[in-house]
Structure 1
């Protein structure tokens, strides 16, 4: 089973914030796959479907960002899924708005959701799609920034990022993550 976990915070107060970029991608994938992501299980909202030969699950952890690993671990244990079939989608301060970056390993880089997943899985090796949110202007508190909505001037870039992330994830269902990185990291750098 391929499983895609979008990171974010539950509740309408966080719905369109930068920190919920992962949820935005899951919502768009659900629309594209004609899936309902509403089953409450494993501390997450989950949707499952079959796409060709692949069984695919979409997850939105409901644990709040800093505890995302609890949901990932619960899903792993319940479904007996492999980490190499996981893709985590999350917001990234070090990537510009309008760009996505794919990686298959690395430190959390200050991202508490990724830190939690590393703690609960015991490894830094898992596939990631980072959604660019850029860094805030000097003097702005990071936590306030990531919990703020995207600016209206960023909406076109946001839409393009979500589309690019969905295309990369769809491509990865039938290709290796290395092939996916080669194709979509190069494309994102040309944007």
Structure 2
């Protein structure tokens, strides 16, 4: 049963609309949609929301720490609320997917994403649910850091927002059933 959904991000307004913060965009949209069900607070100077929906309690979390250290706050939240690794969904940007393409999986390689890489190292396994949101890849490997820390283009924003909105529609069903398989249907969604 999913108890914690985390959108990976870097802190501050400077990074809010960058490719690397796309995981948090989904959480912000959920916050707006489910505000009447949501108890909000800040812990570790990070956003934490608690949704009680159809007799399920699900925490929404956006760590307020740099990407490579997101794992610290995630692990702390999991310990505080006694959340197991199988009860976790992490949302993050993915260079290997076309902008806006969403893939939901369990396990898998970090693909060079440091936020995921350090989570896998600290958990000592990769047995957690991930929602990978495509951002595409720059034409040169040495441009990756600048690419992920830059704002997205207007076209990318349209594609990514379309996909996140579609994911939100599946999330409404997911909240009622708390079944990760509901979300996996988006793997075949074409934008």
The TM-score with structure 2 as length reference comes to 0.89
In the alignment, the residues of structure 1 paired with residue 40 and residue 56 of structure 2 have an alpha-carbon distance, to the nearest angstrom, of: 20
Give unmatched runs, 5+ long, in structure 2: none
**Contact 1:43/1:74 (CA < 8 Å) preserved in 2?**
no
**Contact 1:42/1:71 (CA < 8 Å) preserved in 2?**
yes
Name the structure 1 match of 2:42.
40
State the secondary structure of the residue aligned to 1:124.
coil
State the secondary structure of the residue aligned to 1:141.
helix
In the alignment, the residues of structure 2 paired with residue 37 and residue 115 of structure 1 have an alpha-carbon distance, to the nearest angstrom, of: 31
**1:118 Cα deviation (Å)?**
1.2
Count of aligned positions: 188
**1:20 Cα deviation (Å)?**
0.4
1:95-143 deviation per Cα after TM superposition (whole angstroms, max 9, x unaligned): 1112111111112110000012112222201011111100013376100
Aligned CA distance change for structure 1 residues 43 and 108 (closer, same or farther; 3 Å): farther
Name the structure 2 match of 1:149.
151
In the alignment, the residues of structure 2 paired with residue 31 and residue 13 of structure 1 have an alpha-carbon distance, to the nearest angstrom, of: 21
Name the structure 1 match of 2:118.
116
Name the structure 2 match of 1:69.
71
Aligned CA distance change for structure 1 residues 178 and 11 (closer, same or farther; 3 Å): same
**Contact 1:9/1:64 (CA < 8 Å) preserved in 2?**
yes
Taking only aligned residues, the RMSD between alpha carbons, in angstroms, comes to 2.0
**1:179 Cα deviation (Å)?**
4.5
Give unmatched runs, 5+ long, in structure 1: none
In the alignment, the residues of structure 1 paired with residue 39 and residue 160 of structure 2 have an alpha-carbon distance, to the nearest angstrom, of: 21
**1:171 Cα deviation (Å)?**
3.5
Name the structure 2 match of 1:176.
179
In the alignment, the residues of structure 2 paired with residue 100 and residue 9 of structure 1 have an alpha-carbon distance, to the nearest angstrom, of: 20
State the secondary structure of the residue aligned to 2:128.
strand
Name the structure 2 match of 1:24.
25
Name whichever of 38-47 and 73-82 sits farther off.
38-47
Name whichever of 1-10 and 20-29 sits farther off.
1-10
Aligned CA distance change for structure 1 residues 148 and 71 (closer, same or farther; 3 Å): same
